[in-house]
Amino acid sequence: MKASAHLEIRQGQTLVPYREALAEMTTRNAAVADGSACELIWLLEHPPVYTAGTSAAADELLDSRFDVVEAGRGGRYTYHGPGQRVGYLVLDLGKRARDVRGFVYAVEGWVIETLRDFGVESWRADGRVGIWTRGPEGREAKIGAIGIRIRRWVTMHGFSVNLAPDLRHFGGIVPCGIEDYGVTSLAAIGISVAPDEWDRALLARTDAFLARLEPGGSATKDLP
Which residues are marked as active site? 176
Amino acid at 35: G
Instruction: Say how many residues make up the chain.
Output: 224
**Can you point out the beta strands (E) in 66-171?**
67-70, 77-80, 84-90, 123-125, 128-134, 140-151, 154-162
Query: What are the phi and psi torsion angles at 96 (to 5°)?
Result: -125, -155
- What gap in Å lies between CA 110 and CA 6, rounded to an integer? 20
Work out the number of other CB atoms within 10 angstroms of the CB of residue 96. Answer: 19
Contact of 220 with 102, CB cutoff 8 Å: yes
Alpha-helical segments (H) within the chain: 18-33, 100-117, 195-203, 206-212
Bridge partners, residue 146, by sequence: 159
Q: Please tell me the distance from the alpha carbon of residue 197 to that of residue 16, in angstroms, as a whole number.
A: 19
At how many degrees (to 10) do helices 195-203 and 100-117 cross? 120
